[in-house]
């Protein structure tokens, strides 16, 4: 219920006209505001999947096949 409350509160605050101390966003702008974290999370998950593998392979190659899990990549 916390997430529902936050989403409704932000829609009310951002959708309130500027004359009434709001931000004055329209419905499309509020939709983008709620959708952007979802899209960025998906992009980050897809990118990090291959980038982490690339970084690990590069580390192993530079250290002649030795990989220590304790090393922070």
**Each residue's pLDDT tens digit, 13-46:** 888 898 988 899 998 998 898 899 899 999 999 9
41-54 per-position pLDDT tens digit: 999 999 988 888 88
pLDDT at site 41? 94
pLDDT at site 73? 52
pTM greater than 0.75 (yes/no): no
- Percent of the chain predicted with pLDDT > 70: 97
Query: Cα separation of 42 and 48, whole Å?
Result: 10
How much is the CA Rg of the chain, to the nearest whole Å?
Answer: 21
Element at 15 (helix H, strand E): helix 2-15
Query: Hey, is 64 helix, strand or coil?
Result: coil
Report CA-CA distances (Å) from 59 to 13, 46, 53, 70.
48, 21, 10, 13
């Amino acid at each position: 219920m916390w997430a529902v409350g936050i989403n409704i509160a932000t829609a009310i605050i951002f959708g309130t006209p500027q004359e009434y101390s709001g931000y004055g966003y329209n419905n499309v702008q509020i939709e983008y505001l709620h959708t952007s974290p979802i899209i960025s999370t998906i992009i980050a998950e897809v990118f990090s999947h291959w980038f982490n593998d690339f970084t690990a392979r590069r580390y192993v190659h530079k250290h002649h096949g030795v990989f220590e899990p304790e090393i922070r990549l």
